[in-house]
Amino acid sequence: MTERAIFGVSLWDSLSPDLKRRVVTDFASAEVNEKFRTVLSAQPMEVRNQLREALLAIGLSRKEIDQRLGF
C-alpha cells in the first residue's frame, strides 16, 4: 500500500477522481515513512490540501492527517 500511495501522490494532478479516491484509501492505511514524507514535501501545498480534505472526508482525524502529511 505504501509504495502505491507514494506513486499515486506523485502523479496526483494527472489522476482521475476515481484514482484519487483510491490513492486516498491507500494513503489512509499506508505506513508513513521517510520516503513517503519526502514525496509529500515535494508536492505543492494545493495537492497536500486536497489530500487533507479527502482524508477528512473518509473519517481520519485532523491530528492523524497532520501527522501523516507532516504539518
pLDDT by 10s per residue, the chain, length 71 = 789 999 999 999 999 999 999 999 998 888 888 888 888 889 999 999 999 999 999 999 999 888 888 77
Give the three cell numbers for residue 2.
505504501
Predicted TM-score (pTM) of the model is 0.83
Sign of CA dihedral 54, 58, 59, 61: negative
pLDDT at 25: 94
pLDDT at 36: 85
CA-atom Rg of the chain in angstroms: 11
Hey, where are the domains in the chain? 2-69
